[in-house]
Chain A
Amino acid sequence: MIESSLKELSRNLAEKEISSVELTRAYLDRIASRIATVNALITVDPDTSLAQAQAADERIARGEAQPLTGIPIAHKDLWCAKGWRTTCGSRMLENFVSPYDAHVIERFNNEGAVILGKTNMDEFAMGSSNENSYFGCARNPWNTDRVTGGSSGGSAAAVAAALAPAATGTDTGGSIRQPAALCGVSGLKPTYGRVSRYGMIAFASSLDQGGPMARNAEDLALLLDVMVGFDARDSTSLERPAEAFTRLLDEPLSGLRIGLPKEYFGEGMSTEVRSTVEAGLAEYRKLGATTVDIELPASDLSIAAYYVIAPAEASSNLSRYDGVRYGFRAEEYDDLLDMYCKTRSQGFGTEVKRRILIGTYVLSHGYYDAYYLKAQRIRRLIAQDFTKAFEHCDMIMSPTSPTTAFEIGAKTADPAQMYLSDIYTIAANLAGLPGMSIPCGFDAAGLPVGLQIIGNYFCEAKMLNVAHRYQQHTDWHLKRSPVASS
């Protein structure tokens, strides 16, 4: 059952071939014996998980099961879950036990799903390699000397190592898609506003969006059915008619127009990533799709605009960590100001401080117009590029990341180099568009390559169809990492 998809597990549970307690225990056992290898989870609480599983079994016995009732799911450690330690990968929240549930957690609880544990992540979701976690970096199940990508690296590694059948993540600049690509799993960042941010610890509020990570597109659709929904407690949550994200999965792809942005196939990409993605595109042509060249001329400005906007919003959001109401407080200090400074200096890690400083600087007197407003103007140019591009195509495809998983430590000395790891993913966040990554092959070293699919606003169901049909004709998503096979 460790090999099974969510759909299969759901059927196994419904037909009482397995119980949720058995399934949850099987995954908890796998976590216990492999956690040291991949460091994918920060917190597990077997008693709580098994109690939820027991309740799910009773619900199934009463005939009140929903599709994900009894399924164990790992959650990125920035979703607040009542009674669970929720660290956000930071010393600042090392001992923070959430007094409430995030909207997403509420929805999974209402569904009867089981919280399997909280996954490792870059501190406050700032990073592209998971190396910024206070709890040590997660390791790539395909090669444990390599990074998982980030920031949802623990979620990607947990799925790739078969320590969880599915996980949640969040994506501010690529934090679902890039680790999904580097770990060989499927991940989707919905249209901004689809998934409530209530109870999701904030990084950059105009970009942050939660989404699912799993083994295949069909599983993502089942997860999205639970995660998406209006929530009045998030002021940017969108009121949309309910839809089933599985409804288009089996539609044929004949006539699908795939746009290939020339800017995303230029310099900086490894030759193996290029050839693997091109082989994926050839598969789509076999399925009846056509490819068209498109232009996203402002896309080379996306990193620049992002590294103004995201740190600016982060510096504001993270000002709440002052050692007064919750979280870490320094042990020794002279006065109130000193308490703030020592608490924040000791509680935050290097990358978080770096981004707070960038954000504080670009928002400070005299620089606001030159940096923040300028970046917001460029953000509009980037969004307009996509609007024009979607007049000529239905989906946009590209590599998810310019390289496969790099070695742990390879890019930590130069943050600017690390930031380029998200060069193909950031524009979708700035525009608010949905994006996903699916496995499309391997490089010569046996490391997975991800294919990015960017859709128009609210086109998630169609994107899942596009991904699902590909996965019906290929088996890249079925390949198991060495840790998963162990």
Chain B
Amino acid sequence: MSLSLDDVKRAASLARLEIGDAESQRILDQLSGVFELIAKMESVDTDGIEPMAHAQDMMARLRQDVVTESDKHELFQSIAPAVDADLYLVPKVIE
């Protein structure tokens, strides 16, 4: 499977990255080399092999559904780019 310029642009759009036409072409060239490395995966038959999602085959640990954290919104919002009245500010979404 070889990568196309449209693939790069589509991935950029999904990833919320702004990439110009010239940069897209350069990225395509570099990623094509990376996907040549990745293509090596096709050389091996993996039918019947269980995917390994995690280094230790363990179940995710569960905890009691109780409050463990105290309210720290002032601390956390003190490092936010824009806050007003305890709310994070973003550009207007609904007119």
Residues of A within 8 A of B (CB): 96-97, 99, 192-193, 206-207, 232, 235-236, 238, 298, 300-301, 303-305, 307-308, 315, 319, 322-329, 333-342, 344-345, 348, 353-354, 356-358, 360-361, 364, 370-371, 373-381, 383, 414-417, 419, 429-432
Number of B residues near A (Cβ < 8 Å) is 52
With A307-B34, A416-B33 as given contacts, are A370 and B10 in contact (CB-CB < 8 Å)? Answer: no
Are A97 and B56 closer than 8 Å at their CB atoms?
Answer: no
C-alpha spacing A348/B14, complex, angstroms: 16
Identify B52's interface contact among A324, A356, A379, CB under 8 A. A379
Are A381 and B18 closer than 8 Å at their CB atoms?
Answer: no
Residue of A nearest to B15 (CB): A360
**Cβ contacts under 8 Å, A304 to chain B:** 37-41
Contact with A along B73-87 (1 / 0, CB 8 A): 001101111100000
C-alpha spacing A414/B33, complex, angstroms: 8
Residue of B nearest to A237 (CB): B61
Are B44 and A301 closer than 8 Å at their CB atoms?
Answer: yes
Report whether over half of chain B's contact residues are helix, strand or loop; otherwise say mixed: loop
Are A335 and B91 closer than 8 Å at their CB atoms?
Answer: yes
Q: Which 4 A-B pairs have the closest CB atoms?
A: A432-B55, A376-B51, A192-B55, A377-B46
Are B76 and A325 closer than 8 Å at their CB atoms?
Answer: yes
Report whether over half of chain A's contact residues are helix, strand or loop; otherwise say mixed: helix
Residues of B within 8 A of A (CB): 1, 3, 7-8, 10-12, 14-19, 27, 30-31, 33-34, 36-41, 43-44, 46, 49-56, 58, 60-61, 63, 72, 75-76, 78-82, 88, 90-93
Residue of B nearest to A96 (CB): B79
**Cβ contacts under 8 Å, B90 to chain A:** 324, 336, 339
Residue of B nearest to A433 (CB): B55
Are A99 and B76 closer than 8 Å at their CB atoms?
Answer: yes
Are B81 and A193 closer than 8 Å at their CB atoms?
Answer: no
With A354-B30, A381-B44 as given contacts, are A416 and B36 in contact (CB-CB < 8 Å)? Answer: yes
**Cβ contacts under 8 Å, B11 to chain A:** 357, 360-361, 364
**Cβ contacts under 8 Å, B58 to chain A:** 236
Are A376 and B34 closer than 8 Å at their CB atoms?
Answer: no
With A307-B37, A354-B30 as given contacts, are A97 and B44 in contact (CB-CB < 8 Å)? Answer: no
Q: Shortest beta-carbon distance, A126 to chain B, in Å?
A: 13
Q: Shortest beta-carbon distance, A301 to chain B, in Å?
A: 6
Not counting A307-B37, A381-B44, a sample of 11 additional A-B residue pairs whose C-beta atoms are within 8 angstroms of each other reads A298-B44, A319-B15, A329-B82, A335-B91, A335-B93, A336-B92, A339-B91, A357-B31, A364-B11, A377-B51, A419-B34
